[in-house]
């Protein structure tokens, strides 16, 4: 609250006011150099030599993790059990908070392990440790390249290849969850095989008085980006979409096949296949309604598998977005649960050892699947834990294998730049729901924002 004094009454106090102004003038003059660090153009180079253990001396790894996900903490506990000299000092925050804090925290309060948002801008500012030497030492560069490419950043400012600046704890994948009881009610006994079949199911569900799809799309969380990107994958190739997300020169989201996808989404909206109030729903509301049996489908990811196996045991199913033509290749948003090491980390060797342990230790891989619900990182022939048949976790893992076979993994279109999700996809998708934006207008607007953000 500001209290403003009137001119007349303040007249007697002008002298102190001048004194304050003069003093603050001096303060500013002292601080009047341009803000920010000095200009550095070369990318962080990888450390020349590294140690591939945590040693035997006591080590405390400083972690900055995402709240609400038990996986990293469970892994940390197991790691301490196996290597008692290593303790963790963990700070947790919401992902949105981590996104906003990332640059400051990485430079001012360097964590050894940090859950990362989109990495391009952080890598550009040299805030992340270059892990190339570790990749070589541990043999990560012999894993399927698609696992790591989203975390590679080149000196040309493009993602997808170049130096490894982050690692994944596992890689998750998105698709469509359905309520088995409701599905049986409308005669859906197996996953639809084409987009047209899926449309038929949606119409049947609507005719039966069910809510066919519920999806979060409220506030700053444009969840319709999930079905939209899945539709993009049904109509086109994942390659150009990845190029766009990786900021490749000249890439555009405004392509004919993406327009078809956006038009298809608009058709769903206009046909009433989506819950009416999606523009006011957040993620938690969507999940609680789905678990409560209020909608047939939701678009989400395998990080919910463990949760759904518990809360809807036997009643939840999962399938990948069906292709436009029968037998066509399938693609899905699939991204590693990205963790990085600060360029200023004091225990980088131990942090890298932990990341390697997560991908290679048998117990760690068990935890990755059972607690994380997703596929662990690592070589194709690595140990995989047994998962009970008929569970959602089993079907999401199987779907992951399909995506691997079809080479259909894409990063999330919301990860193209740091601000594209909150400032572009979300408002545009909300406008599409309200009928205030056309499919073509949406793609044009997003592309325009993208270009200004990539340049800036």
Partner 1 sequence: MARSLVRGRRTRRRPRSAWLGWLFALPAVTVYLVFVIRPLLLTVQYSFYDWNGIGPATWVGLDNYVRLVTDSELFATIVHAFELILFFSFVPVLLGLAVAATIRRIAQSRLALVARTVLFLPQVIPLVAAGIMWTWLLSTTGLINQLLTAVGLGSLTRAWLGDFDTALPAVGVIGAWVQIGLCTLLLLAGMSKIDNSLYEAARLDGAGPVREFRSITLPSLRQEIGVCLTVTIISALASFDIIYVSTQGGPGNATMVPGLEIYYLAFAEREIGMASALAVALTVLVLLCVLPLQRITRDGTR
Report how many residues bind partner 1 under the rule CB under 8 A: 52
User: Which of 57-65, 217-225, 353-361, 367-375 is the region at the interface with partner 1 (rule: CB under 8 A)?
Assistant: 217-225
CA distances from 41 to 22, 38, 131 (A): 39, 10, 19
Q: Is 345 helix (H, G, I), strand (E, B) or coil?
A: coil
Nearer to partner 1, 16 or 187 (CB): 16
**Max CA separation in the chain (angstroms):** 85
Tally of CA atoms within 13 A in the half-sphere of 314 that contains its CB: 0
Applying CB under 8 A, the span of 56-64, 82-90, 159-167, 216-224 interacting with partner 1 comes to 216-224
**Angstrom distance (rounded) from CA 261 to CA 26:** 59
Q: How far apart are CA 175 and CA 372, in angstroms?
A: 16
Instruction: Compute the least distance from the CB of residue 136 to partner 1, in Å.
Output: 29
- Determine contact, residues 95/116, Cβ cutoff 8 Å: no
Q: Could you tell me if 301 and 173 are in contact, meaning their C-beta atoms sit under 8 angstroms apart?
A: yes
Of 92, 93, 125, 406, which lies in the binding site for partner 1, with binding defined by CB under 8 A? 125
Q: Does 107 bind partner 1 (CB under 8 A)?
A: yes
Other beta carbons less than 10 A from residue 81's beta carbon: 9
Q: Which of 10, 17, 20, 196 binds partner 1 (CB under 8 A)?
A: 20
Q: Which residues contact 32 (CB under 8 A, 6 or more apart)?
A: none
Shortest Å, Cβ 5 to partner 1: 9
Beta strand ranges found along 67-181 (DSSP E): 86-93, 113-115, 152-153, 163-164, 167-179
For partner 1, give the closer residue by CB, 107 or 438. 107
* Out of 35, 209, 250, 327, the residue judged to bind partner 1 by CB under 8 A: 35
- Shortest reach from residue 252's CB to partner 1, in Å: 21
Binding mask 234-273 for partner 1 (x = CB under 8 A): ----------------------------------------
419 makes contact with partner 1 (CB under 8 A): yes
Element (H, E) at 354: helix 348-360
Query: H-helix or E-strand containing 378?
Result: none
Closer residue to partner 1, CB minimum distance, 215 or 391: 215
Is 196 in contact with 286 (CB distance < 8 Å)? no
Q: Which of 74, 423, 438, 444 binds partner 1 (CB under 8 A)?
A: 423
Of residues 429-448, which lie at the interface with partner 1 (CB under 8 A)?
430-431, 433-434, 436
Residue number with CB closer to partner 1 (204 or 294): 294
Interface mask (CB under 8 A) for partner 1, residues 139-178, using x and -? ----------------------------------------
Distance, in Å, from the CA atom of 83 to the CA atom of 76, rounded to the nearest integer, reads 10
| Binds partner 1 (CB under 8 A): choice among 39, 53, 381, 389 | 39
**DSSP designation for 423:** I
C-beta of 205: minimal distance to partner 1 in Å? 19
Query: Which residue(s) pair with 65 in the sheet?
Result: 92
Whether residue 202 contacts residue 271, with contact meaning beta carbons closer than 8 Å, is answered with yes
Helix (H) or strand (E) holding 98: helix 95-108
Which segment (20-28, 238-246, 298-306, 341-349) binds partner 1 by CB under 8 A? Answer: 20-28
CA atoms of 176 and 304, how far apart (whole Å):
11
Of 444, 441, 442, 438, which is closest to residue 270 (Cα–Cα)? Answer: 438
Q: Which CB atom, from 293 or from 314, has the smaller least distance to partner 1?
A: 293
Stretch that binds partner 1, among 19-27, 87-95, 233-241, 262-270 (CB under 8 A): 19-27
Binding residues for partner 1, per CB under 8 A? 1-2, 4, 6, 16, 20, 23-24, 27-28, 31-32, 34-40, 99-100, 103-104, 107, 121, 124-125, 127, 218-221, 276-281, 418-419, 422-423, 426-428, 430-431, 433-434, 436, 453, 456
């Amino acid at each position: 609250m500001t209290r403003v004094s009137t001119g007349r009454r303040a007249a007697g106090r002008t002298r102190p006011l001048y004194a304050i102004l003069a003093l603050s003038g001096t303060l500013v003059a002292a601080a009047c150099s341009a803000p920010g660090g000095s200009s550095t153009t070369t990318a962080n180079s990888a450390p020349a030599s590294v140690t591939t253990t945590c040693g035997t001396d006591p080590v405390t790894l400083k972690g900055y993790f995402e709240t609400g996900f038990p996986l990293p903490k469970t892994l940390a506990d197991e790691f301490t059990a196996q290597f008692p000299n290593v303790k963790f000092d963990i700070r947790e925050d919401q992902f949105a908070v981590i996104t906003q804090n990332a640059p400051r925290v990485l430079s001012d309060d360097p964590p050894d392990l940090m859950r990362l948002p989109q990495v391009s801008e952080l890598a550009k500012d040299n805030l992340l440790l270059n892990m190339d030497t570790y990749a070589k030492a541990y043999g990560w560069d012999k894993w399927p390249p698609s696992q790591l490419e989203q975390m590679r950043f080149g000196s040309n400012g493009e993602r997808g290849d170049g130096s490894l600046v982050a690692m994944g704890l596992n890689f998750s994948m998105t698709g469509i969850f359905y309520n088995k009881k409701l599905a049986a009610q409308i005669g859906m006994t197996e996953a639809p095989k084409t987009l047209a079949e899926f449309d038929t199911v949606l119409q049947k569900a609507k005719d039966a008085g069910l809510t066919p799809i519920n999806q979060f799309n409220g506030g700053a969380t444009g969840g319709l980006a999930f079905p939209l990107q899945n539709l993009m994958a049904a109509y086109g190739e994942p390659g150009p979409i990845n190029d766009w997300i990786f900021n490749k020169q000249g890439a555009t989201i405004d392509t004919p096949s993406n327009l078809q996808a956006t038009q298809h989404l608009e058709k769903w909206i206009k046909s009433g296949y989506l819950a009416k109030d999606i523009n006011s729903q957040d993620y938690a509301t969507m999940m609680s309604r789905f678990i409560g049996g209020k909608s047939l489908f939701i678009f989400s990811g395998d990080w919910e598998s463990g949760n759904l196996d518990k809360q809807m045991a036997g009643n939840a199913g999962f399938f990948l977005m069906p292709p436009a033509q029968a037998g066509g290749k399938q693609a899905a948003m699939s991204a590693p649960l990205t963790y990085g090491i600060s360029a200023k980390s004091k225990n980088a060797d131990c942090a890298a050892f932990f990341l390697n342990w997560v991908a290679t230790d048998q117990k760690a891989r068990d935890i990755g699947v059972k607690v994380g619900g997703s596929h662990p990182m690592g070589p194709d022939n690595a140990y995989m834990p047994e998962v009970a048949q008929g569970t959602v976790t089993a079907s999401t893992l199987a779907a992951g294998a399909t995506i691997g076979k079809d080479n259909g993994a894409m990063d999330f279109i919301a990860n193209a730049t740091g601000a594209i999700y909150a400032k572009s996809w979300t408002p545009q998708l909300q406008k599409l729901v309200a009928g205030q934006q056309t499919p073509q207008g949406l793609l044009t607007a997003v592309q325009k924002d993208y270009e200004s953000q990539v340049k800036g």
